[in-house]
Every structure is written in C-alpha cells, then in structure tokens.
Amino acid sequence: MFKKLLGFYGLKQTGLNALLSVSVDLFVQYHNLTTENKSFLNSFISGSSRIDGKGKTVGRTNNEKSQEILKRGFLRECLINAIIKTKWIMNEDKEISKNLIYYFVFKKCNNPIIPDNRKIIFAEGINAGFKNDFILSTHLLLPQIENSIKILADKCNLLTAKIYEDLQHDNTLGGILDKLINISDCEFIKELKDFLVETNSINFRNEVAHGICEPSQIDYYGIYLWWLSLKLIEDRENLFEDMISTTANTQ
C-alpha cells in the first residue's frame, strides 16, 4: 500500500521496499539455524547479570534465557545495521513530504489498533523518522505503540487492568505483552517484549521513559523503533489479524 503510494509520487521504492519486506520472523529462522552452546563450561554457569553504566546490577536471568537474549540481540544489531544503511540510501532520494505521510496514515491506514485520535501522533513520529530525527520520533511513537498493544490485548479479550486491587491500574506493558505471548506465537510481540521491557536486554521503553538512555543511544535504537512502527502500520494483517480472529472464535 505505502510502497505503491510512494511509487505514484515518483519516488524510488527500493529502500522502503527493503525495509518493509524484512520480517521479524527472521528471529525464528535464526534461532532454528543456531545450535545450543554445549560447552562443558555451561554446567558451571547458572545465569548472567546486566550491569549498567554506573556499575549497578539492573537485571539477572538464568543461562537458558541469557542465551536466547544474546541470540535475539545479535540479529537485532544486524537488522539495525541494515536499516541504517538502507536509510542512508533513501536520504539521497527526494524528501518525502509531510502531506504524503499524513495522507498515508489518515486515509490509507485502516488499522484496528491505531485509533483515529492517535493517527496524528503516529504521522508526526513517522515523519520525524523520515527526516532522521529519531530522538523526536522515539518520544512520539513509543507511547503510541504501548497504547496500540493495550488495544490489541482488549481486542483479544485479555484483562489489561489489575482488577484484584482497590485501585484498578493498568498492567505494565511487560505484563500485557506476556499475556499476548501466552495466547499467540507472534514473533513481533516477542520482539517488542525483549526490545522494550526486558531488563536483561535493551529495556528501551523503560530506559527512555525514566531518562536513563543517552541521546546517542536513543538515536541509535530509535531508527529500529521507527522501523517497527512502519511494520505495525504496513503489516497489520500478517502481524495481528490471526491473533484477533482466533481469540474471537474461541469465545
């Protein structure tokens, strides 16, 4: 949809085609191609810890989970590198107008987990990314992705509030993603969990929200969040439709 629209405006499609054609399911393929580390040293290692820049232990996990995080992190870095290089090529092309981004988001984006009153923020965040301002893009898109995940959970008939408490606060993003993972094998959801809220991984959402991330780090990982947002908009049928329809059919 978006690719055809850009072609209509006479813009090169190669770069964006490349970005949108990459599937997060590559994480599954990579996991299937790799073998477990069977070194005898594994028997002496019970787990691993994540240390922040100030020397504090901010995460701890067992050895099996640690290996999974390392594998996922390795492929993510490869993807980020490819996205950055593709974006460099796109930067040599015509600048995509803000009106075009708005047209796509407001007129062509029929996404059940992006409410009409949030489309303007998605449009501004996507536009900032096309202008290579990934710090601004991150701060616009990150809360909207979280809101969309909560809407997805609602559509899958999952409770998103702690009803057993006197004050019914929403579950944390990590808690909601865990509930979605329990009902689906969606790789996109698993990647959001690892990238955004896993304390032994990037923990991007929490570190940005609490002002821990350095600007250079936000800029670096912001392009990946921007790419995930493009996937969320463009590939909604492949990502979530089966999850929503399957859940509805079991009710």
How far is residue 110's CA from residue 123's CA, in Å, rounded to a whole number?
14
**Predicted confidence pLDDT, tens digits, the chain (251 residues):** 444 444 444 444 566 777 777 777 766 655 555 544 444 445 444 555 555 555 554 455 656 777 788 888 888 998 899 899 889 888 887 778 888 888 878 876 778 889 999 999 999 999 999 999 999 999 999 999 999 999 999 988 888 776 666 655 678 899 999 999 998 888 899 999 999 999 989 999 999 999 999 999 999 999 999 999 998 887 666 677 667 666 555 54
What integer pLDDT is reported at residue 205 of this predicted model? 96
Domain that holds residue 17: 2-249
Residue pair 151/32 in contact (Cβ under 8 Å)? The answer is no
Q: How many residues does the chain have?
A: 251
d(CA 212, CA 53): 10
With 0-12 / 13-18 / 19 or more C-beta atoms within 10 angstroms meaning exposed / middle / buried, residue 80 is middle
Q: What is the reported pLDDT for 165?
A: 61
Give the count of domains, the chain: 1
- Read off the tokens for 202: 């990037």
d(CA 248, CA 183): 12
| Contact status, residue 140 vs residue 121, Cβ threshold 8 Å | yes
CA–CA gap between residue 231 and residue 238 (Å, rounded): 10
pLDDT of residue 100: 83
120: Cα separation from own chain's centroid: 19
pLDDT of residue 247: 57
* Helices marked H in the chain: 2-8, 14-21, 26-33, 63-91, 98-103, 119-130, 134-155, 173-183, 187-192, 204-209, 215-234, 236, 242-249
